[in-house]
Structure 1
Amino acid sequence: MRLIQLLDDSDATRVGVVDAQGLQVRVLDGVDSSYALATRAIEGGRSLQAQAELQGGEVRLDYASLLASGRILTPLHHPDPAHCRVTGTGLTHLGSAAARDAMHQNLKQKAEAGALTDSMRMFQWGVEGGIPKGDAPGAQPEWFYKGDGSIVMAPGEALPSPDFALDGGEEPELVGLYLIGPDGTPHRLGFAIGNEFSDHVTERQNYLYLAHSKLRACAVGPELRVGELPQDLRGTSRIRRGDGVLWEKPFLTGEANMCHALANLEYHHFKYAAHRRPGDVHLHFFGTATLSFADEVRVQPGDVFEIDLPALGAPLRNPLRSAAAGFALHGVRPL
């Protein structure tokens, strides 16, 4: 099942089911958000798909028109953005270390021949132990925090790059969408396409700046795919400038193309009690191996990022825009 959130003709948030052909959306009755739908499913002990089928609904809308008019929202949000945590894991995909290492190669410290960078070392740990054997957890991945729900842009919405940023580049990724139940159990609603937008120039200065480079906007959607994923997912990441394509490259994801199992990445995120607060929403990015920045591409305002992963529905498209940071030196006021 493929779910979306949308604005109806009265600008009210609704939940819809996309048909198998991707042409029409059936609007569900009785729920005004995916959060409400998932809450009912947890309360009733049902799957999200079963709950969606139980809601019914006869109104049908044209999907292409909804996308073109900017009426598609992110597929999951919390009513209070402060209770949505946006996080991610890196160096999780086969080939991801090559892109990261290429960014950092001018910083390599080769005290001895064949010395590994920290990125390559962490990647190697994932290759050797990222898939758990039995009930014991596997190797820890790289982990980062991006922000709360206020940084998540809807499909078609511009990704703001603050004026202090040195770069703003796409990262095409799979995103897990979660709601924490009343007893503290994380419930995975499903998966969506994500653009884990980052500042790669800042990160390239020193890998210890990774945390700074990740505190940027991101985009998720349009669709939430309910249920298990195929092992092998293949898509295309591209950047459009004007009427042409500036850059384009295939990208692979899914566990067949990863050195970490999804269950291992979920464990290492939710093992922290603070990440299991009842009622919270989590949007977790699972990493990538494809970056235009690694190919020396530099984007500019007006460029459009397009991430197309057919198994997860319609592509995710977002233009880039410059934005004022809204804060200056000596902006802290003493009391």
Structure 2
Amino acid sequence: MRLIQFVGPDGSRAIGVVDGNAVREVRGVDSIRELALRAIAENRSIDDQVLQLGVGASHDYDQLLSDGKVLPPIDHPDAAHVMVAGTGLTHMGSASSRSKMHQKASTGDEASMTDTERMFKWGLDGGKPASGTAGVQPEWFYKGDGSAIVAPGAPLDVPDFSDDVGEEPEIVGLYVVGEDSNPYRVGYAIGNEVTDHVMEKKNYLYLAHSKLRQCAFGPELFVGQLPDNIEGTARILRDGKPIWEKPFPTGEANMSHSIENIEFHHFKYNQFLRAGDVHAIFLGTSVASFGDGVRVEVGDTFEIDIPLFGRPLVNGTRSSSTLVKPGAVKSL
């Protein structure tokens, strides 16, 4: 099942089941978060909860997208109650980088490795433990709260202090914390975890800064179990024409960490278990145009397509000025 959140013709929010170009409105709820919390309370799956509520009016999906009415596939009435985070070094990467890392990792000589190579080796050795067992923790980073999420089709802001704006095409796990303080996976979506790669390359200790950029995911929520092997394609369009395009593999067959292990090492922190909160975890990527020497320009458009997840995620880019200038902080 695939679901979207959207704004209907009367201006009210709704959620719908995607069936080709038709979106069938789910009765009785206006958000996927509400749907998930009901499912938790009534001990049902998302699929069963939708079946129990039933569907009604049909909407034209193409029209909703062209009118900018499609929302991110999960949110919260208060953006501060959405945690957006991600993990790195979770995928095997491109053939060349994988070969280089494997070559060093196979020697077992950690003393000669960079920090990146060492962490990658730890994932290879212990990132996929038996179910119910904690493995090695992956790299983790914070991206922001719900205000950092841009709707499908909307432009991504490029701050005036940025050195770069680069796509990271990946899968996003979407979660709701129940009233019992347990995390529940609602589903998955296509994600673009935008990163300032030039800043990150200056020094890996700038990673935290480089990740504090807007991001996007959607337009659809995929409900169900993921196949082990998933194929997608990332593109950059300039003036409507592709300047870069590359397929990317994802899914656990192409990962050095299991999704269960990534989830555990996020939700093991008690401060992330506030009832009703929403979490979005970017699960890692295997390709980026920056690695191929592409320099994204403001005005370019990102397109990420994973057919399993329905429609592609498309976002443009635009310049943005920071609200705070040097010296703007005043003493009280």
Could you say which residue in structure 2 is the equivalent of 1:265? Answer: 262
- Is structure 2 residue 200 aligned with structure 1 residue 226? no
Distance 1:100 1:69, change over 3 A: farther
- 2:140 is aligned, of 143, 150, 154, to 143
Tell me the amino acid that sits aligned with residue 217 of structure 1. Answer: Q
- The CA deviation at 1:301 is 1.4
Count of residue pairs brought into register by the alignment? 324
- The CA deviation at 1:26 is 0.1
- Is structure 2 residue 41 aligned with structure 1 residue 46? no
Could you say which residue in structure 1 is the equivalent of 2:78? Answer: 80
1:274-325 Cα distance to aligned partner (Å, 9 max, x none): 1111111000000001000001101111110000000111000000111001
Distance 1:136 1:67, change over 3 A: same
- The CA deviation at 1:115 is 2.6
TM-score (norm 2): 0.94
- More displaced stretch, 180-189 vs 88-97: 88-97
- Is structure 2 residue 195 aligned with structure 1 residue 190? no
Distance 1:295 1:36, change over 3 A: same
- Provide the rounded CA distance (Å) in 1 between the counterparts of 2:313 and 2:250: 16
- 2:250 is aligned, of 244, 249, 253, to 253
Could you say which residue in structure 1 is the equivalent of 2:286? Answer: 289
Tell me the amino acid that sits aligned with residue 61 of structure 1. Answer: H
SS of match in other structure, 2:280: strand
- Provide the rounded CA distance (Å) in 2 between the counterparts of 1:96 and 1:277: 38
- Is structure 2 residue 300 aligned with structure 1 residue 303? yes
- Provide the rounded CA distance (Å) in 2 between the counterparts of 1:208 and 1:224: 33
- The CA deviation at 1:57 is 2.3
Could you say which residue in structure 1 is the equivalent of 2:12? Answer: 12
- 1:317 is aligned, of 306, 314, 319, to 314
- Provide the rounded CA distance (Å) in 2 between the counterparts of 1:90 and 1:74: 23
Distance 1:134 1:149, change over 3 A: closer
- Provide the rounded CA distance (Å) in 2 between the counterparts of 1:285 and 1:113: 27
SS of match in other structure, 1:59: strand
Percent of aligned pairs with the same amino acid: 54
Could you say which residue in structure 1 is the equivalent of 2:122? Answer: 125
Tell me the amino acid that sits aligned with residue 142 of structure 1. Answer: E
1:41-83 Cα distance to aligned partner (Å, 9 max, x none): 1111111111111111220111111111111100000110000
1:170-216 Cα distance to aligned partner (Å, 9 max, x none): 00010000000011100000000000001001100000000000001
- Provide the rounded CA distance (Å) in 2 between the counterparts of 1:78 and 1:207: 32
- Provide the rounded CA distance (Å) in 1 between the counterparts of 2:273 and 2:110: 44
Could you say which residue in structure 1 is the equivalent of 2:23? Answer: 25
- Is structure 2 residue 192 aligned with structure 1 residue 172? no
Distance 1:189 1:113, change over 3 A: closer
Could you say which residue in structure 2 is the equivalent of 1:109? Answer: none
SS of match in other structure, 2:257: coil
- The CA deviation at 1:135 is 3.5
Residue segments in structure 1 that go unaligned for 5+ positions in a row: 103-111
TM-score (norm 1): 0.93
- The CA deviation at 1:100 is 10
Distance 1:98 1:129, change over 3 A: farther
Q: Confirm or deny: 8 A CA contact 1:239 1:246 kept in the other structure.
A: yes
Tell me the amino acid that sits aligned with residue 324 of structure 2. Answer: F
- Provide the rounded CA distance (Å) in 1 between the counterparts of 2:76 and 2:234: 28
- The CA deviation at 1:36 is 1.0
Distance 1:76 1:113, change over 3 A: closer
- The CA deviation at 1:10 is 1.8
CA RMSD of aligned residues (A): 1.8
- Provide the rounded CA distance (Å) in 2 between the counterparts of 1:216 and 1:71: 23
- 1:89 is aligned, of 87, 90, 114, to 87
Distance 1:97 1:115, change over 3 A: farther
- Provide the rounded CA distance (Å) in 1 between the counterparts of 2:131 and 2:30: 41
Residue segments in structure 2 that go unaligned for 5+ positions in a row: 101-108
Tell me the amino acid that sits aligned with residue 22 of structure 2. Answer: Q
Tell me the amino acid that sits aligned with residue 198 of structure 2. Answer: V
- The CA deviation at 1:98 is 6.3
Tell me the amino acid that sits aligned with residue 8 of structure 1. Answer: G
Tell me the amino acid that sits aligned with residue 11 of structure 2. Answer: D
- The CA deviation at 1:96 is 6.3
Q: Confirm or deny: 8 A CA contact 1:238 1:245 kept in the other structure.
A: yes
Could you say which residue in structure 2 is the equivalent of 1:162? Answer: 159
